[in-house]
Structure 1
Amino acid sequence: MRFRRASALGVATLAATASILTGPAAPAQAAAPAPTAVAVTLANTIALSNCSASLVRFPTSVSTDSAMMLTNGHCYEGGFIPAGRVIQNVASTRTGTLLNSSGGSVARVQANRVLYATMTGNDVTLYRLNTTFAALASSYGATPLTISAAHPAAGSSIAIPSGYWKRVWTCSIDGFVTTLREDIWTWKDSVRYDAGCDTIGGTSGSPIVSTSTGELIGINNTGNEDGERCTLNNPCEVSPNGEVTVLKGRNYGQQTYWFTTCLNSSQAIDLTVSGCLLTKP
């Protein structure tokens, strides 16, 4: 799991920009301009004590709603969440540092509640902050990432901005893993990055952002460090027929559109909503 176990040594801030090219123009027609990819920066990412996080909103959130902060379940302040456990509506005082586009510190933000957290099926902790989206926008120009309501596509270009490291990784989605197993935890429909995507410890909880839409489509969480089989920090892929595959050096994330399948008419997380994909107690 990509949380940080040692003190930071410091790294340079990188900018993440990319271009998505269209195909050739038809004969006798002017070439269509290539659409410009979204430039993903460190704006609205959050540095935690040992992980990364981000300021997020649901597609239906409004400015007067309480702001939210998203990180991994294994970054929960109470430590790793036991397999099978779901945490909901628990008081919290977790704090983090909100960053601007270049990685500069903008403000300290503080949670007052864990809305949902688990390490089973997914690896997420969603916090409610003690301020609103409007207040953060007014005071700091902060604009939350919107959690996409759609399943991402293989081959999509993505960026992974880490508030902890103040660095942005650019990658692509290689595919999806039916079951990803690490020690006692299993995750479903996990995102596998391309082989060159070298996320490191401290990037846990970083948002996975589509460079086509700018929306948050997942959350970075783990990678196989030593080539071991299904051990801590060495996740393995398990096929529907039980075949185990180990890809040393390959890194993974978890999908976040699941949150949008569990919102009730009040836009609150409700695990009883029909079609809700989030793990239930």
Structure 2
Amino acid sequence: MHRRLLGVLAAAFLGTASLTAASVSTASASPAPAPVKAAVDFTGIVALSNCSGSLVRTPGAADTDPALVLTNGHCYEGGMPSAGQVITNRASSRSFTLLDSSGQGTLGTLRAKTMLYSTMTDTDVTLYKLNTSYAAIRQNYGTPALELSLAHPTAGTDLRVVSGYWRRMYSCSLDGFAYRLREDQWTWKDSVRYTSSCDVIGGTSGSPVIDAASGKVIAINNTINENGERCTLDNPCEVDESGTITVRPHIGYAQETYGLAACIAPGSVLDFSRAGCTVPHAVRGGR
């Protein structure tokens, strides 16, 4: 996980990385077909200095609310949170590069005002509140935010993992769920497991995992077993309810986001007492 990011930055520095109206009578008219859902693209995708991320909102967010950016806990500029650590409400001026829908162009730079939440316990997520609203971003850049799903994802879902860092999209299916996913000192709960075609690499950390049918964010990409090691850094292992460990070389994983999405209250603030909010939390400022 961490070593992959360092390797990516080195590769980028050396320049070696490459990716990749007719009218009808009312008597005979049939119901209008549902609008065709546009294919997933790079709308709402951002790049960080070392990771990927996305501009996100909850279904009930107001256009005037401060906008939010989602990435991994291990992408936090303050360093990777330790196991058991939750960090909340820290001042931040981190910048994010907002991509156009093709992923080839840059629309502008967004900037954080507050790091609302960061942890690598049970999940792997950092959530930033920006210094501007959803409405202002749409007015200035023509870009809407991606919607966070409030439902648990389903096995077999057609997925897109969209990396702002590499400007690359991966397609695969949701293979299943790991009861516990362990990597070095960290343990994550109910993790999404990809089929093998989402062979994610360093720099894809923090990419939104999008349900291709609905266009909603259902998880956040965070790791892959690189070389078959067991429960070590960059080599997560699955642990079932009985404690049995399974290693799946070259299989990637993501952390569900519905439990965090439920914590987001009007005004883009966190309220850990909200129904459905399941992420670990701590007193203001964390520890």
TM-score (norm 2): 0.87
Q: How many angstroms apart in 2 are the aligned matches of 1:265 and 1:46?
A: 23
Residue in structure 2 matched with residue 53 of structure 1 by the alignment: 53
- Once the two structures are aligned, what percentage of the paired residues are identical? 52
SS at 1:4 equivalent:
helix
Q: How many angstroms apart in 2 are the aligned matches of 1:46 and 1:264?
A: 23
Query: How far did 1:97 drift?
Result: 0.4
Q: How many angstroms apart in 2 are the aligned matches of 1:12 and 1:273?
A: 41
Residue in structure 2 matched with residue 18 of structure 1 by the alignment: none
Q: How many angstroms apart in 1 are the aligned matches of 2:37 and 2:196?
A: 22
Q: State the one-letter code of the partner of 1:241.
A: S
Residue in structure 1 matched with residue 23 of structure 2 by the alignment: none
> Residues 1-281 of structure 1 correspond to what in structure 2 (within 5 A)?
1=1, 4-5=5-6, 6-8=10-12, 9-13=16-20, 38-103=38-103, 104-264=105-265, 268-281=269-282
Q: 1:132 to 1:37 in 2, by over 3 A?
A: closer
Query: How far did 1:57 drift?
Result: 0.4
Deviation string, structure 1 residues 213-270 (Cα, Å, up to 9, x no partner): 0000010000000110000000000001100000110000000001233245766311
Contact 1:38 1:212 in 2 (8 A): no
Query: How far did 1:276 drift?
Result: 2.3
SS at 1:138 equivalent:
helix
Deviation string, structure 1 residues 112-138 (Cα, Å, up to 9, x no partner): 101111000000000001111001000
**Any unmatched runs of 5+ in structure 2?**
21-32, 283-287
Q: How many angstroms apart in 1 are the aligned matches of 2:232 and 2:256?
A: 22
Q: How many angstroms apart in 1 are the aligned matches of 2:175 and 2:152?
A: 14
Q: How many angstroms apart in 1 are the aligned matches of 2:35 and 2:197?
A: 24
Q: 1:249 to 1:12 in 2, by over 3 A?
A: closer
Q: How many angstroms apart in 2 are the aligned matches of 1:150 and 1:144?
A: 18
Q: How many angstroms apart in 1 are the aligned matches of 2:133 and 2:229?
A: 44
Q: State the one-letter code of the partner of 1:114.
A: M
Contact 1:60 1:267 in 2 (8 A): no
**How many residue pairs were aligned?**
262
